[in-house]
Structure 1
Amino acid sequence: MIKIFFLLFIFIFKGNLNPELIIGKERVKPGIIFIFEGAIKDHITPISMHLSESLTNVHIEARVNWGSDNIPNGTPSEGFVPYLNITATITNQNSGLLTFIDLKPHVNLVDNFHYARNISLPGKINELYTVKFNISPPTGVDLAIHKDWLKKYGKQLISNYSFEYKNINFNEIASAKRN
């Protein structure tokens, strides 16, 4: 009976799962976790600020959340980290052509808040790419720092970071359709 229930569960919910490509995972001080992904392109609004889904290949994401342990006092465990400035450069390893994008805050019913952007790959979907993410802390205009944070962690929420991943194949994600 349990096997039948399990198979029925998989059959019913299999169509609701969209694949995502984990490009990389990083943890930085003071307890922030970055999960970089390639996801299936999606319809994003406002359309005046985003490429049409039909003109793109993949949805590049950075899920940025506090960890569940070793985080600052008062921090919501696994909560979204706002106000970061994140860019990505996607370079075709065959041709050297590249695409540069700013990742903007998005919200959906799967990942909730995340940074992302639909992009057109600078080449064929079955070629290999190098993906580099650059993270900058919020400016003083975007985020004010209280005295207690300043004493313990300094003038910034985080430092500048750069993470690079080679030999990324977007073929499966770029070929997939959203349910």
Structure 2
Amino acid sequence: MRNPLLTILAVLVLLVVAVGPVAAQDEVIIEREVIEPGILLVFEGAPRDAITPEGAHLAEEATDVHLELRANWSRADSVDVPRPAARGGFVPYARPFAKVENQRTGQATFVSLVPHAKVNSGLHYARNVALPGDPAEDAYTVTYTVKPPPAGTVSFHSNWREQIGERLFERQTFRFENVRFNEALVADS
């Protein structure tokens, strides 16, 4: 009697061999930063994607990279987060912006990042971007500015104001040089 698990494994191995290597695109993690009060920001470039509503986003075929900012309450035990924030949960109401500057040509593009939902990434802020210059060859300086929600957008209870402050978080700016998006670029077939 054959072991069904071994049969399944053999079929999977044959499929991988038959199909051959697949050109996988990966997200490029630019950096991770923790800001007060315990928010983990992950800056990244992901492969382009078709985003809806279509009129509000750059078309997939015109996109080089899907620029992302994940903003979540930190899962790390070493980081204090406000109680009862759900560790790992999405931080809403942020207003992130990015400037992507080609280091060779000086050309730049500016984008506002808006909330997105994706099955394997969850909620995040992002925007499809056409990179200035030659994305496969050039390096970029990427500057993210993350602003708190405008006054009156979020209402704060007295215990938040006393323990955290009058805002969800303070405005932050992060500059990353020599960023290459090669791993996130989709090869044209």
TM-score by length of 2: 0.84
Equivalent residue for 2:34, pick from 27, 32, 36: 27
Partner residue in 1 for 2:150: 139
3-state SS in 2 of match to 1:122: coil
Partner residue in 2 for 1:103: 113
CA contact (8 A) 2:27 2:183 kept: no
Q: Given residue 64 of structure 2, which amino acid in structure 1 is its aligned partner? A: N
Equivalent residue for 2:73, pick from 37, 61, 66: 66
CA contact (8 A) 1:40 1:176 kept: no
Q: Compare 134-143 and 146-155 and name the one that shifted more.
A: 134-143
3-state SS in 1 of match to 2:185: helix
Unpaired runs of 5+ in structure 2?
none
Name the Cα RMSD after superposition: 2.5
Structure 2 CA distance for aligned equivalents of residues 140 and 163 of structure 1 = 23
3-state SS in 2 of match to 1:38: strand
CA contact (8 A) 1:63 1:115 kept: yes
Partner residue in 2 for 1:93: 103
Q: Could you tell me how far 1:56 is from its partner in structure 2? A: 1.0
Matched, 1:157 2:173: no
Partner residue in 2 for 1:47: 54
Q: Compare 132-141 and 98-107 and name the one that shifted more.
A: 132-141
Structure 1 CA distance for aligned equivalents of residues 104 and 48 of structure 2 = 23
TM-score by length of 1: 0.89
Q: Which has the larger radius of gyration?
A: 2
Structure 1 CA distance for aligned equivalents of residues 180 and 186 of structure 2 = 11
Partner residue in 2 for 1:112: 122
Q: Compare 94-103 and 17-26 and name the one that shifted more.
A: 17-26
Q: Could you tell me how far 1:18 is from its partner in structure 2? A: 4.4
Q: Given residue 132 of structure 2, which amino acid in structure 1 is its aligned partner? A: P
Q: Compare 75-84 and 141-150 and name the one that shifted more.
A: 141-150
Q: Percent identity?
A: 39
Equivalent residue for 1:56, pick from 60, 63, 87: 63
Structure 1 CA distance for aligned equivalents of residues 187 and 117 of structure 2 = 21
Structure 2 CA distance for aligned equivalents of residues 176 and 24 of structure 1 = 24
Partner residue in 1 for 2:182: 171
Q: Could you tell me how far 1:21 is from its partner in structure 2? A: 0.3
Structure 2 CA distance for aligned equivalents of residues 134 and 22 of structure 1 = 17
Moved over 4 A (4+): none
Q: Could you tell me how far 1:172 is from its partner in structure 2? A: 2.6
Number of corresponding residues:
175
3-state SS in 1 of match to 2:161: helix
Q: Given residue 36 of structure 1, which amino acid in structure 2 is its aligned partner? A: F
Q: Given residue 169 of structure 1, which amino acid in structure 2 is its aligned partner? A: R
Unpaired runs of 5+ in structure 1?
none
Q: Could you tell me how far 1:54 is from its partner in structure 2? A: 0.7
Structure 2 CA distance for aligned equivalents of residues 47 and 77 of structure 1 = 32
